[in-house]
Amino acid sequence: GLQVAAYVDGERVVDVWGGLADETTGRTVNGETLFPVFSVTKAVTATALHIQAERGLVDYDAPIAHYWPEFGAHGKEKGTVRDALTHRIGIPQMPEGVTPELMCDWEWMVRQLADTKPLFTPGTKSAYLAYTFGWIIGEVVRRTDPKRRPFGTFVQQEICAPLGIESLWLGIPDEVEPRVAKLTNIPRPSPDAPGLPPEALIPIAIPPQVGVIQKVFGRPDVRRACIPGAGGIMNARSAARFFAMLANGGELGGVRLLSEERVRSFSVPRAHREEFDPVVWRVLNLGMGGFWLGGESPSAPPVVGRNPRTICHPGAGGSIGWADPDARLAVAICHNRMFDAPTPEGNPFVPIGNAVREALGVAG
């Protein structure tokens, strides 16, 4: 099943859906169906941090240990907030012994990550934080929040409520559980199909016992937990509304969350932008603010178009949201059929992105 939603100039102009939310029961997708979107969640998590920076509570270039002293253990004392935002903090690995139950335990996760020895000296190498990004950034937000709210509560109160976003959660309430689509994982077409080499670090960044599969992310406890690197559950309407705020320079519906200058900075490529990443085994086209960038780089997600100022975040399996600040266009694609294209040309969602831009007269 699939949903696509788009905003232009802060107004929703596309809202379509189709297919099955659950292949086993025949339940169909509608506009209110919710989808696990995996790393699309990171865009929301990064924005929470930027709100704290906007308020003068976080300095990107300060050591994380300034806000979270325990994090400085094992040589991480100089690792900065920006290092984490740009996936250069050196701890992509999940804690030893992690289970789905422990992944749901915020205090256990942050305690373990604070005590983790980095694989790489912080600030020296790209190593994609597939899951750990969320707890590192989220704990900085929590510790700089004068109210010390749980991170999921912060997102609801400081992002969703002000923007009128009704169906975006980092930890769903019980009553919306029946709306969540069931994931379908596509098996590799053949043993010879392209895949990551054994040297890639993805198995320690996403250990199989907490993998991006229905057996894990279909669990009620996992869906109810705040897992801010990969656990967001939302529909395309809400995801697109969130990205519309970014496409409009930090403001939506008369509510400003971020300054235009700050949002413009998200389109600035990170240092060492062409650096090879040993986790995902390729170059990642990342910006300074925790978002991926569009453009014609081979490492840019092809679905978002050729504008290098477009900011986005894809999720495992293909869900994605993006904001094109020049066209003031925001788009979200949410779905439950897990697909990982071996090449950009094989991405099945590129025609959707092209169709949206063509229908709206947006270059791309």
Say yes or no to pLDDT of 341 above 80: no
Say yes or no to pLDDT of 84 above 60: yes
Say yes or no to pLDDT of 187 above 70: no
Query: For the residues 293-311, what does the mean pLDDT come to?
Result: 92
pLDDT (0 to 100) of residue 362 = 86
Greater model confidence, 296 or 332? 332
CA separation for the pair 120, 123 (Å, rounded): 8
Structure confidence by residue, pLDDT tens digits, 210-249: 999 999 999 999 999 999 999 999 999 999 999 999 999 9
Which range is least confidently modeled, 110-124, 149-163, 279-293, 333-347? 333-347
Query: For the residues 14-35, what does the mean pLDDT come to?
Result: 97
Kind and range of the H or E run holding 111: helix 106-114
Structure confidence by residue, pLDDT tens digits, 245-276: 999 999 999 999 999 999 999 999 998 888 89
pLDDT (0 to 100) of residue 100 = 98
pLDDT (0 to 100) of residue 208 = 95
HSE, side-chain direction, 13 A CA sphere, residue 146:
4
Average confidence score pLDDT of the chain: 94
pLDDT-based confidence at 338, cuts 50/70/90? Answer: confident
pLDDT-based confidence at 296, cuts 50/70/90? Answer: confident
Extents of the domains making up the chain = 2-188+201-360
* Buried/exposed code over 293-325 (b: 16+ C-beta within 10 A; e: otherwise): bbbebebbbbbbbebebbbbbbbbbbbbbbbbb
pLDDT (0 to 100) of residue 347 = 78
pLDDT (0 to 100) of residue 80 = 99
Query: For the residues 307-322, what does the mean pLDDT come to?
Result: 95
Percentage of the chain surpassing pLDDT 90? 88
pLDDT (0 to 100) of residue 190 = 47
pLDDT (0 to 100) of residue 274 = 80
Looking at this protein, which amino acid is placed at residue 79?
G
CA separation for the pair 286, 133 (Å, rounded): 14
Record the tokens describing residue 364, joined without a space.
């791309």
* Eight-class DSSP state of 158: I
pLDDT (0 to 100) of residue 185 = 78
Query: For the residues 282-297, what does the mean pLDDT come to?
Result: 93
CATH number, domain 2-188+201-360, options 3.40.50.720, 3.40.710.10, 1.10.260.40, 3.40.718.10: 3.40.710.10
pLDDT-based confidence at 346, cuts 50/70/90? Answer: low
Say yes or no to pLDDT of 195 above 80: no
pLDDT-based confidence at 299, cuts 50/70/90? Answer: confident
Query: For the residues 6-20, what does the mean pLDDT come to?
Result: 97
Q: H-type helices in 171-259, by residue range? A: 202-205, 214-217, 220-224, 236-247
Structure confidence by residue, pLDDT tens digits, 144-183: 999 999 999 999 999 999 999 999 999 999 999 999 999 9
Say yes or no to pLDDT of 114 above 60: yes
CB atoms within 10 A of CB 178: 9
Percentage of the chain surpassing pLDDT 70? 95
Query: For the residues 126-151, what does the mean pLDDT come to?
Result: 99
pLDDT (0 to 100) of residue 196 = 79
Query: For the residues 330-340, what does the mean pLDDT come to?
Result: 91
User: What CA dihedral angle connects 265, 40, 227 and 202, to 10 degrees?
Assistant: -100
* Eight-class DSSP state of 303: G
